Amino acid sequence: MRAPRVLIVEDSPEMADLLALALQSDGIEAEIAPEGQKALALAGSKPFDLVLLDLGLPDLDGLDVLAALKADPKLNHLPVIVITGRDRTEDKLRAFNLGAVDYINKPFNFMEVQARIIATLKRKSAADDAEQAVQAERQRTHEEMLRISRAVDDAGDAIVILNPEGRVTYVNEAHGDFFGLTLAELEVFERHRRLFCKPELWDEIWRTCEDGGAWSGEVEMHAAGNRIAPTLCRADAIRDERRAFLGVVLIFTDITQRKRLEEDLLYLANHDPLTGLHNRRFFCELLQQAVDRARRGAHSFLLYLDLDHFKVVNNSLDHQAGDRLLVDVARTLRDQLRPGDELARLGGDEFTLLLNGADEAAAVRFARQLVQLFDECRFKEGGRTFCCTASIGLSKIDGTVTAEDALSQADSACYYVKTHGRNGLEVFRPDNQAIAQLSTEAGWSIRIKDALRDRRMEMWLQPILPLRGDGKPYFEALVRMREVDGKIVMPGQFLSAAENFGNMQQIDQFALYESMNLLAGHPTLRLSINLSARTLNNEHLPVIVERLLTAWRIAPDRVLFEITETAMIQNLAQARQLITAIKQFGCRFALDDFGAGASSMLYLRDLPVDVLKIDGSFIRSLDVDPINRALVKSINEIAHVLGKQTVAEYVVSAAVLQVVKSLGVDYVQGWHVCEPAPPDHFFKLGLENITLPRA
């Protein structure tokens, strides 16, 4: 099955490239046409699933391109989303009258546009599937009518006609081939009834037809060759013009091949195509059954196995070698299974084993054997030898937790092993705070993904205000999660989970696009945007930032990126290179939580940042702690010598604010200065009206 393909008709290279880049992150292929004529030529020569159409094109008006697409019988099914800076009502009306499925004005929210595009592609896919199903059904009906029309002669299905007394009066050749009986042999009374594996079913069919109805269903029949054949049976009453009952016509279709195909499809739905093991969907059903049995007293154990160095094989060789390793692992695990146990591949290099009826001692013994087995195994490929050990987490299925929680607990125990040396095992225990924390974070990771998918992640703002008259106020963009019930979740509750379970890049992407959208809509707004350590490792970030700035015509000096000291020192060279590349556009950088790291002063001179945000642990007690006051004074003076501005975070009181002012800090931020709030709160107040609290 090919990936969805979108034609982007846009004369702005920056906007077109940005849209294509966003679509590619969702697995959607994109092709760009900067002119209307080229767009029509591409649409006619290649298969596309969607067109994103700008109206302001250099050669043709976009509405004329839309009209041409809809006038072409081969292309009029193609959904078109108009994305344009033209906001005239007549353009919208004409676009929708011509057949556009959506109309989006620039500037727009990239995350929203992605969601609309994906939704439109899903609707088209569903419509295509439905149309294919209708065509298939029409074809089947047509073929059925043809078979019936030729029933007396050469129907492929087995056809028999019985008189009102139930005696066979006619059979076609296919009937004789299917059942291996001649008409003379079938004329024996009730001989046809005995062809049914369940003769009482024949009595039901006959009564239904006598009463004027029809019957259809799957039955098992005694066919030629002493085989039991799954068969589709259709029975209709034969009546004259006065509705008098004249007999019954039955059509039998051998569905042996169809049943085999259904079994094959069911197998594919429940098994991993690479290894032949159960897949995640089917294993979760088996796990739920184990939980139900545990509630009746039959306890089991769940093992979650992750290969420790699988990426080494993929990176050193290729994915085909990795696939061969996974097949070998599956074979090894299958050979170790006890009778009644279940094994599945969840995806990637993750496997699960359900040890039905096992207690902890047996489960740990089994897991230890697997750890030792993988420790001794060697994978040979391309003249090289690899060792691929295993980390295993175990959780007890005792009926007190759900199937999802049991899987999460085993996963958390496995993750604990991987972060504590690998090549070992660990049993999940509620009193193990480290594993319990990982289990909690795994749950948060799912909630984060759901919030991003359902657009329940929000961007709030908090002012950063100058203490001197020449400074310009700006705002820090802060992420908030809204629960399904409307409750706001603070980032301190979920960011740790996001960092540990790989959600930070998606959160950063949301924050970046949402912030740029706010900047595009409010020309006087200046924003500080947080970037995580994971995003700092994204080599495409400078390209993305440049295209966003260009596409939305945002002045770079309105953008300041914040990175934490911890994120910076994880990969100092990479961070310095990325910061330098983005600063070339005119953006600025701030080093957040400065002073929390032990080596701050050693590398401060060489960091290409413009602002130091002094860590709040120094600021909170500034009015009562002389040591903190001396440290902040020193940091502020060194920063100014190096030509950098300073921000005091966590200003919690008027007394703290007064000390910060006396030390000569440039900017202040904190709940005493102004609490975070949704953007509309500040826009309604007026950005120019956000000022320092009175003493």
Over the stretch 121-174, which tens digit does the pLDDT of each residue have?
Answer: 888 887 777 778 767 766 764 465 445 445 445 557 888 888 888 888 888 888
Tell whether the torsion through CA atoms of 379, 381, 385 and 387 is positive or negative: negative
Using a CB cutoff of 8 Å and minimum separation of 24, what contacts does 573-578 make? 574/536, 574/537, 575/536, 576/606, 576/607, 576/608, 578/536, 578/539, 578/541, 578/542
How would CATH label the architecture of 158-259? Answer: 2-Layer Sandwich (3.30)
pLDDT of residue 651: 94
CA distance 157 to 328: 46
pLDDT digits (tens, 9 = 90+) for 373-402: 988 888 777 677 777 889 999 999 998 888
pLDDT of residue 161: 86
pLDDT of residue 422: 85
CB atoms within 10 A of CB 152: 11
Tokens 């069919």 label which residue? 205
pLDDT of residue 488: 93
Domain 446-689 fold: TIM Barrel (3.20.20)
Q: Where in the chain is the domain with CATH 3.40.50.2300?
A: 5-129
Phi then psi for 36, rounded to 5 degrees?
-65, -45
Exposure string (b/e) for 132-146, b if CB count within 10 Å is 16 or more? eeeeeeeeeeeeeee
Helix (H) / strand (E) containing 80: strand 80-84
Class of domain 5-129: alpha beta
- Parts of the chain with a pLDDT under 70: 1, 134, 137-138, 140-155, 189, 314-318, 382, 436, 438-439, 569-571, 596-603, 695
Q: Where in the chain is the domain with CATH 3.30.450.20?
A: 158-259
Strand partners, 325: none
pLDDT of residue 142: 47
pLDDT of residue 156: 74
CA distance 628 to 615: 11
Q: Where in the chain is the domain with CATH 3.20.20.450?
A: 446-689
CB atoms within 10 A of CB 490: 12
Q: Where in the chain is the domain with CATH 3.30.70.270?
A: 271-429
pLDDT of residue 151: 47
Three-point CA angle 25, 26, 32, nearest 5°: 75
The separation between the first and the last C-alpha atoms of the chain, rounded to the nearest angstrom, is 67
pLDDT of residue 522: 94
CA distance 584 to 582: 5
Helix (H) / strand (E) containing 592: strand 588-594
pTM of the model: 0.53
Burial class for 27, CB neighbours closer than 10 Å (0-12, 13-18, 19+): exposed
Tokens 């921000």 label which residue? 647
pLDDT of residue 369: 93
Three-point CA angle 189, 191, 195, nearest 5°: 155
Out of 2.40.30.10, 3.30.70.270, 3.30.70.330, 3.60.60.10, select the CATH number for domain 271-429: 3.30.70.270
Q: At what angle do helices 110-149 and 504-521 cross, to 10 degrees?
A: 110
CA distance 461 to 522: 13
CB 614 within 8 A of CB 604: no
At 338 the three-state DSSP class reads coil
DSSP percent split of the chain into helix, strand, coil, nearest 5: 45, 20, 30
Nearest Cα to Cα of residue 224 among 255, 195, 202 = 195
